[in-house]
Structure 1
Amino acid sequence: MTTSDGLHLPAGTAASGPYVLDVGPTPGPTPGPGPGRPGWAHTALRVVRLEPGATHTFDTGDTEWIMLPLHGACTVQIDDTMFRIQGRESVFAQVSDFAYAPRDARVQIASGAGGRFALAGAKCERRLPARYGPAPEVPVEERGSGSCARRVRNFAAADTFDCDRLIAVEVITPGGNWSSYPPHKHDEHLPGEESELEEIYYFEIEDGGLGYQRVFPSREGGADVLAEVRTGDVVLVPDGWHGPSIAQPGHAMYYLNVMAGPGATREWRIRFHPDHAGGYQ
């Protein structure tokens, strides 16, 4: 088991204040480490657990956010606009609806029955309108085949939901299958070929199972991770080839991907590793 320092965050190790998970850049004019992650500059992910009847309020600052239920329903008030989010029983049950909050706004999340809610964010420049994302409008893609088949929920992919910088998708990998395969990368700006994007992987594994995540260097000194992951774990991908993500037989794997980068255009362009490019995609 190998890990670059600070890139595999087991459940509970990145808790902060009201959040059971809090990953993101340090505020300020010069991007700082976030909690122990040097150079992390663009993406953020928080998970808040609300008891029945509880609320959570925060200011978006210079970051756009999507509020995505992992478990439970809620209301989301963004300044003077209220959205009712039906949510879901679990990430394995179904696609969820969600709410988008722009930068420079105040947000309150309230849940009568309680639940867990992911806040996926990216530092941004434009202030877009607050919006509701209905579950039936989320494009669902069946990607790969055989032992590399998985289901991708493109709720905030670059070409499906308008954000300034944020790109976010969910992936369900059946037990025993590989996903994020072939290994691929997006750590250089090559017009028309590759985007420069940081990425966060947040994992949940069905019925107490486990999975594995591989990240390996695309350049000297780059990210190098082989992590056993369980529910609540995070793997950060600042650079490098990433994949496969491997699900334990009998235990489906869920991961939430959050991406953003410095490029002028919001796009997801990847390059496959040349030694694996003939594999299932």
Structure 2
Amino acid sequence: MTNDTWFIPRGSRSEDGWTDVVDDRIDGWTHTGLRTGTVTDGGELRLASAAVERIVVPLAGSFHVAFAGSAGTGSQSLEGRASVFDGPTDVLYLGSGSSATITGSGRIAVAEVPTDQVKASTYIARQDVPVELRGAGQSSRQVHNFGTPAALDAVKAIVCEVITPAGNWSSYPPHKHDTTVPGHESDLEEIYYYESAVARGVDAPDTAEPFALHRTYASDDRPIDEFRQVRTGDIALVPYGWHGPAVAAPGYDMYYLNVMAGPDPERVWNITDDPAHGWVRQVWESEDIDPRLPYGRKNA
């Protein structure tokens, strides 16, 4: 992978049982990381003690995490969910210096952000995850803010996940957070981990191939030009630049997990809209939220 190609197809960075590992060994990548993996009955995934804070996020399935370190020692069951389109999940924050062993059955993601500062390991229950319906009309999406400053006392990490119904645009209007302007814009790397599935209530043939679209383009003299078709397990990195839209193709719901952090002393997500497209926010004032939202448990 070179620093002018910020796309990681599923399975292209496998390591130690993990499906993919993103960290600072990628040229030009410094402030964020991500691990994705699958645990089978009787198997396990391990997290070595390191100077990183982590958030363990069940994607599909249920898990048990045994952890130890200066941030706390103990064990925590994660109820999880049937799929990423089943509403929010409970999550576990592991403070810097923690080691952990993950058992259970299903797919899991671990957001990672380098830091020497230690915050206490914390469990966030499903019912305590703030759920936000953002945008309106065809820009409607559902955000689970379990790892944002309002919900979690972390050092650097800003983590959330977004569900976008089929045919809608997300991460829109295109925006950036690649320059420090106190009170106006933050300097943050961002990871997008994607999943896509046949839309709820749609009877699709077995040959269906769910996908979504991701876009990143230059905001200054730093070159970047990414326009990708993404499928379940693919990862897009945004080191800088305008990013968006992320588009859910008709017939296919889209999910992405965002991991953000940067060099700024303040842990805050301040963005600047692309001035060519920021005006679309005004249109939302006369539109309703997509009636398909919110997504929760299918049997709820």
Is TM more than 0.5 here?
yes
SS of the aligned residue for 2:280 comes to coil
SS of the aligned residue for 1:206 comes to strand
Letter aligned with residue 43 of structure 1: T
Letter aligned with residue 140 of structure 1: V
Instruction: Verify the 8 A CA contact 1:8 1:235 in the aligned structure 2.
Output: yes
Matches within 5 A, 1:25-44: 25=24, 34=25, 37-44=26-33
- Separation in 2, partners of 1:58, 1:166: 17
Letter aligned with residue 45 of structure 2: H
Q: Deviations over 1:49-105 (max 9, x none)?
A: 111121222223010001110111111111131111100110011210011111112
- Separation in 1, partners of 2:28, 2:7: 16
How far is 1:125 from its partner?
2.8
Residue matched to 1:101: 94
- Separation in 1, partners of 2:264, 2:150: 16
- Separation in 1, partners of 2:99, 2:31: 20
Residue matched to 1:48: 37
| Paired residues, number | 267
Letter aligned with residue 162 of structure 2: V
Residue matched to 2:216: 215
- The answer to whether residue 70 in structure 2 is matched with residue 77 in structure 1 is no
- Separation in 2, partners of 1:5, 1:263: 24
Among all aligned residue pairs of Structure 1 and Structure 2, give the percentage whose two residues are the same amino acid: 40
User: Which of 171, 195, 202 is residue 186 of structure 2 equivalent to?
Assistant: 195
Instruction: Verify the 8 A CA contact 1:87 1:96 in the aligned structure 2.
Output: yes
- The answer to whether residue 5 in structure 2 is matched with residue 14 in structure 1 is no
How far is 1:119 from its partner?
0.5
SS of the aligned residue for 1:19 comes to coil
Letter aligned with residue 201 of structure 1: Y
Instruction: Verify the 8 A CA contact 1:60 1:101 in the aligned structure 2.
Output: no
Matches within 5 A, 1:168-247: 168-207=159-198, 208-247=209-248
Large movers: runs of 4+ above 4 Å: none
Letter aligned with residue 72 of structure 1: G
Q: Deviations over 1:211-245 (max 9, x none)?
A: 11110101123321000111111110000000000
Letter aligned with residue 32 of structure 2: T
Q: Deviations over 1:116-135 (max 9, x none)?
A: 11000101131011111111
- Separation in 2, partners of 1:216, 1:246: 15
User: Which of 81, 88, 105 is residue 88 of structure 1 equivalent to?
Assistant: 81
CA RMSD of aligned residues (A): 1.4
Instruction: Verify the 8 A CA contact 1:125 1:164 in the aligned structure 2.
Output: no
SS of the aligned residue for 2:138 comes to helix
User: Which of 148, 153, 165 is residue 157 of structure 1 equivalent to?
Assistant: 148
Residue matched to 1:148: 139
- Separation in 1, partners of 2:179, 2:67: 35
How far is 1:4 from its partner?
7.0
Q: Deviations over 1:226-273 (max 9, x none)?
A: 001111111100000000001110110000000000111111100101
Of residues 12-21 and 42-51 in structure 1, the stretch that sits farther from structure 2 once superposed is: 12-21
- Separation in 1, partners of 2:179, 2:258: 18
- Separation in 1, partners of 2:23, 2:232: 19
Letter aligned with residue 62 of structure 2: A
- The answer to whether residue 93 in structure 2 is matched with residue 126 in structure 1 is no
- Separation in 2, partners of 1:76, 1:132: 11
- Separation in 2, partners of 1:77, 1:262: 31
Residue matched to 1:30: none
Letter aligned with residue 39 of structure 2: L
What TM-score, normalized to structure 1? 0.92
Instruction: List runs of 5+ in structure 1 lacking aligned partners.
Output: 26-33
Instruction: List runs of 5+ in structure 2 lacking aligned partners.
Output: 199-208, 285-300
Q: Deviations over 1:19-75 (max 9, x none)?
A: 1011111xxxxxxxx2xx312011000012111121222223010001110111111
- Separation in 2, partners of 1:147, 1:42: 32
- Separation in 2, partners of 1:77, 1:131: 13
- Separation in 1, partners of 2:220, 2:16: 36
Letter aligned with residue 169 of structure 2: W
Letter aligned with residue 98 of structure 1: V
- Separation in 1, partners of 2:108, 2:165: 23
In structure 2, do the counterparts of structure 1 residues 144 and 187 end up closer, same or farther at CA, with 3 Å as the change threshold? same
Residue matched to 1:65: 54
